[in-house]
Structure 1
Amino acid sequence: MATRWDTPTSTWLEDETSGQFALQATTGLGPIDWQAHARGRLPDVAHLLGASLPASCAHAGIYPEGFSFCPTCGAPLERLDGQVQHQPDWWGAASDQALPRHVPHGLPVTSLALGDRLEGRPAAPAVNRAELAMPAPPNAHCVFIAGTYGFPEQRLLALAPARGVLQYWDPLAQLWHVMGAEEAGAELRFNAGGYGWLPALNPARGEVGIVPLDTGLSRLWINPVNESYRLELLFAGRLASSPGVMRRQVGCLYVEDGVLNLLDAQLDFVNGTTWECPDAPTSGWMRPIGYDNRLFWLHPQGQLVWRPGEEPRWTPWPRGWTPKLDFGGPTQSRDGRLWHIGHDGQAYSFLELGADNPQVEPIDGARLGFANFLFRRGHPVLDQPWSAEHIEDAAQDDSLVLPLLRSFNNNRSQPSGLVLRFHAYTGRAEEALAGRTIARTTIEWIGKRNLILDEVARLARPLDCVPFVYAGALWLHHPDWNTVRGWRLEALT
């Protein structure tokens, strides 16, 4: 026999023989397989549901929400209901919707003021070390999000798009769990370029957001108790890119009958129209960039520009000019125009984006970066994208800086952010970003104070580095590392 306990959000059963509680149902999560999954991770489940945990007795491993005392012995319990932790969500810097409109969206730029805390460490040339570590996810080529998904506490998810594997971090047990699909055939695979998801702004319990799949767009729901997920189909089609949002309109490229199309839909996907782009390629697209009320999709052959409510426009690059898409992304001139770096076979130059007759500005060497966070070799470029670099330390001439993340902050006159510095590197930038192994690399913060956060020996494929913010810390992941490195950001908590 079992006694049934009903709380405002859940139904529990108490075994009259053992006194143990089992969750039968809870709002928003569907069927619960308590014995198979949750019994081994009761502390994490209790924190997610706002249930109670034993403080001194051992009559049960978990108690329903609102219980203050053990019904068997009367010992006080640790009540977790109402203990909401406020941490900033992280959807990848490219999905930061809190950036102001004059900053390009879709680039590695975050609205979190990370430098205010990081710059309290000893400045360069002192070498700091990572203070935190977590094991790398089992499927290491990942993108990360951290959010509440309608629960009281934030949790970290790591999605491996190429394999379609969703991984859940249990911070109390310090373990990764691979989440399984609730329905057969619910695939999370996405192999059409850079990954980007659309977060749920006011999520229901278990709601993550809209995710791109090889087969279309779906709303993702998770059940952390069962370690499972489900998909709610919103649009079926062979996607050619991740979706982007402009003025609450979703734009996404897909292929039908061998022709590229652009889906123009509202955020609720109740209404939608499609535009044909017959001259544009059907694969190889970058993640969209939002700026000046338009979405930009970049491709090795040209650019597709779309303003909601208007027909998209495909424009090939000028003859002989090739974009350097691995160098970072578009940047801005002082008059607000958007530019991208490329090479015409003789020299590098910046090309104006979204213009009928684009202006070209020649430069004397490669520049790595995005959104006004640019470097030529080891020195920042502080004025126009094509201006000469600002040399503060001539000793950095033999280094190469690769920006990873810009932290946008209105109270700073110059951009701040996370970078990799390749030391004693004299080769071409293209070689460093491809297969070449760099003997010594430092992880640095560039801002009001420049500091070295850590150093790495023999780094390869630096573009695989993924920074993210979770649990009051800045983290950096690389698929070759066994652990994810972290630096505390107490000011964000």
Structure 2
Amino acid sequence: MSYRWETPASVWLEDEKSARFELASSEGLGQVDWQAHARGRVPDCAELLGASLPLTCDCSPIFPEGFAFCPNCGRALKKPAADASQRPDWWGPSGDQFLPRHVPHGLPVTMLPLGASLEQRLAAPAVGRYDLTMPVPPNAHCVFAAATYGFPVQRLLALATTRSVLQYWDPAAQLWHVMVAEEGAAPLAFTASEHAWLPALNPLRGEVALVPTASGLHRLWINPVSETYRTEAVFEAPLASSPGAIRRHISCLFEVDGETRLWSALADGADVDVMHCPGAPGAGWSRPIAYDDRLTWLHEHGQLSWRPGAQPQWLAWPQGWTPRLEFGGPTQSRDGRLWLIGHGVDGYSFLELGTPAPQAEPISGARLGFASLLFRRGHAVVGEPWGPEHVEDPHDDDTLVLPLLRSFNNNRSQPSGLVLRFHKYTGRAEDALSSRTIARTTVEWIGRRNVILDDIARLARPLECVPFVYDACLWLHHPDWNQIRGWRLEALS
């Protein structure tokens, strides 16, 4: 026989003979398999549920939420910390939903004050080291999200988008767990275009985000106690792109009968509309960029723009001009227009986005970056994207800088962010980003003080480096590494 205890969010059962508690059900978690999954993860589950843990009591390894004393022996219990964690959410380098409207959403730009802590470290030329490490997920090619998902504490997820594998980081056990799909859950693989998800801003318990899949747009829910996930269909069709959000609207591209179309709806699912996009490709799109009251998807063959209430517009690139999407993405000019770098018959140039008759600005060489964080070779470009670079040290002519993440701060006249610097490299930028193995690379923070965070030997495929913020630390992941490197951000804690 078991005694039944009910808390505001959960139902617990206390065994009459052993006096041990086990979770029967909890709000938003669905079926709970406590015996099979959670008993080996008691510290993690206690934080997720807000449950109490024993201090000196041996009656049970866990107690229901709100218990201050063991009902069997009367000894005091350890209740969860009041803060459990007021950590900022992270939805990928391109997923900051709180940027001001004059900054393009969808590029690797974040509002988190990363420089406040990183710039307190020893400045260059001193070479730093990472503060801590984390094991690489079993499926290393993945995207990361760190949020509470409606629970009292923040947790880290890693989604392998090519293999439909959702992985959960257990901070107490320092282990990755592979979450199992519940019956009827849609596969989470999405390979048609770049992956991007739309987070739930006020999530219910277990609610993660809207995720693109091969079969449509789904709402993802997790049960970290039972290590399972489920999905709810929002829009079922073969998706051609990741979803984007502008004002109160969400939208994505899909393909039907060999034709690309645009689906849109309000954030609550109302006012669904489907529009034709003649000429637009059915795959290979970038993450959508929200700027100037419209969504824009970029492709090797052109761009597609959409404003709520209007028809989508497909614009092919000018004849003979090829974009260099791998260089970073659109950047802004002083008057607020967006520009994309590419290569034509006369060399490199910047092309204006969002207009059928774009202006072009020729430049003398490749420039890497996005959203005003732009570099030519090892020198920052601080004026117009096509303007001359700012040369502080002529020795940087032998380096190549690849921006990874810009930190937006209204109080700074020049952009700051996380970059990779390739040393003693004089070849083409395209080769460094694809086929070359770089002998020496430094991870640097560029800001009011330039700080060298780490030194990396023999780096290949640098575009696969993924920065993310979790548990008041800045992390850098590459699928070839055995460990994820982290730097503490005390200013965020």
Q: Please say whether Structure 1 and Structure 2 have the same fold, judged by a TM-score greater than 0.5.
A: yes
Q: Any stretches of 5+ residues in structure 1 without a counterpart?
A: none
- Match of 1:35, SS state, is helix
Q: Which residue of 1 is the match for residue 260 of structure 2?
A: 260
- Match of 1:47, SS state, is helix
Q: Which residue of 2 is the match for residue 419 of structure 1?
A: 419
Which residues in structure 2 correspond to 1:96-175 (within 5 Å)?
96-175=96-175
Please state how far the C-alpha of 1:102 moved relative to its aligned partner.
0.6
Please state how far the C-alpha of 1:346 moved relative to its aligned partner.
3.3
Please state how far the C-alpha of 1:3 moved relative to its aligned partner.
1.1
- For the 8 Å contact 1:52–1:81, the answer to whether it is kept is no
Q: Which residue of 2 is the match for residue 274 of structure 1?
A: 274
- For the 8 Å contact 1:25–1:32, the answer to whether it is kept is yes
Render the CA deviation track for 1:110-155: whole Å, top value 9, x for unaligned: 0111101100000000001000110000000010000001100000
Please state how far the C-alpha of 1:20 moved relative to its aligned partner.
1.1
Which residues in structure 2 correspond to 1:50-69 (within 5 Å)?
50-69=50-69
The one-letter code sitting in structure 2 at the alignment partner of 1:146 is A
Distance 1:485 1:81, change over 3 A: closer
The one-letter code sitting in structure 2 at the alignment partner of 1:362 is P
Please state how far the C-alpha of 1:19 moved relative to its aligned partner.
1.5
The one-letter code sitting in structure 2 at the alignment partner of 1:491 is A
Which residues in structure 2 correspond to 1:88-487 (within 5 Å)?
88-184=88-184, 186-487=186-487
Q: Which runs of 4+ in 1 moved over 2 A?
A: 81-84
Please state how far the C-alpha of 1:213 moved relative to its aligned partner.
0.5
- For the 8 Å contact 1:50–1:82, the answer to whether it is kept is no
- Match of 2:491, SS state, is helix
- Match of 2:467, SS state, is strand
The CA distance in 2 between the partners of 1:270 and 1:178, in whole Å, is 34
| Identical-residue share of aligned pairs (%) | 66
Please state how far the C-alpha of 1:83 moved relative to its aligned partner.
3.9
1:32 aligns with 2:42: no
Please state how far the C-alpha of 1:75 moved relative to its aligned partner.
1.4
- Match of 1:458, SS state, is strand
Render the CA deviation track for 1:464-485: whole Å, top value 9, x for unaligned: 0000000000000000011100
The CA distance in 1 between the partners of 2:158 and 2:67, in whole Å, is 33
Please state how far the C-alpha of 1:82 moved relative to its aligned partner.
4.4
Please state how far the C-alpha of 1:186 moved relative to its aligned partner.
2.3
The CA distance in 1 between the partners of 2:457 and 2:340, in whole Å, is 31
- For the 8 Å contact 1:304–1:313, the answer to whether it is kept is yes
Render the CA deviation track for 1:368-394: whole Å, top value 9, x for unaligned: 000000000000000000011101011
TM-score (norm 1): 0.99
Please state how far the C-alpha of 1:337 moved relative to its aligned partner.
0.6
The CA distance in 1 between the partners of 2:302 and 2:209, in whole Å, is 30
The CA distance in 1 between the partners of 2:481 and 2:66, in whole Å, is 42
The one-letter code sitting in structure 1 at the alignment partner of 2:414 is Q
The CA distance in 1 between the partners of 2:302 and 2:312, in whole Å, is 13
Render the CA deviation track for 1:340-379: whole Å, top value 9, x for unaligned: 0000033100000011211000000000000000000000
Please state how far the C-alpha of 1:217 moved relative to its aligned partner.
0.4
- For the 8 Å contact 1:115–1:407, the answer to whether it is kept is yes
1:70 aligns with 2:70: yes
Render the CA deviation track for 1:314-343: whole Å, top value 9, x for unaligned: 111111000001000000100111100000
The CA distance in 2 between the partners of 1:80 and 1:27, in whole Å, is 18
The CA distance in 1 between the partners of 2:81 and 2:230, in whole Å, is 26
Please state how far the C-alpha of 1:84 moved relative to its aligned partner.
3.1
The one-letter code sitting in structure 1 at the alignment partner of 2:427 is G
The CA distance in 2 between the partners of 1:77 and 1:479, in whole Å, is 42
- Match of 1:239, SS state, is coil
The CA distance in 2 between the partners of 1:188 and 1:99, in whole Å, is 28
The CA distance in 2 between the partners of 1:141 and 1:68, in whole Å, is 43
The CA distance in 2 between the partners of 1:9 and 1:231, in whole Å, is 22
The CA distance in 1 between the partners of 2:313 and 2:129, in whole Å, is 48
Please state how far the C-alpha of 1:183 moved relative to its aligned partner.
1.3
Please state how far the C-alpha of 1:95 moved relative to its aligned partner.
1.5
Please state how far the C-alpha of 1:184 moved relative to its aligned partner.
4.3
Size of the alignment, in residue pairs?
493
- Match of 1:37, SS state, is helix
The one-letter code sitting in structure 2 at the alignment partner of 1:242 is S
- Match of 1:130, SS state, is coil
Please state how far the C-alpha of 1:81 moved relative to its aligned partner.
7.0
- For the 8 Å contact 1:473–1:487, the answer to whether it is kept is yes
The CA distance in 1 between the partners of 2:183 and 2:393, in whole Å, is 58
TM-score (norm 2): 0.99
The CA distance in 2 between the partners of 1:438 and 1:84, in whole Å, is 42
Render the CA deviation track for 1:68-100: whole Å, top value 9, x for unaligned: 112222211001274431000001131211000
Render the CA deviation track for 1:149-186: whole Å, top value 9, x for unaligned: 11000000000000010000011110100001111452
The one-letter code sitting in structure 2 at the alignment partner of 1:484 is I
The one-letter code sitting in structure 1 at the alignment partner of 2:59 is H
The CA distance in 1 between the partners of 2:469 and 2:408, in whole Å, is 14
- For the 8 Å contact 2:194–2:284, the answer to whether it is kept is no
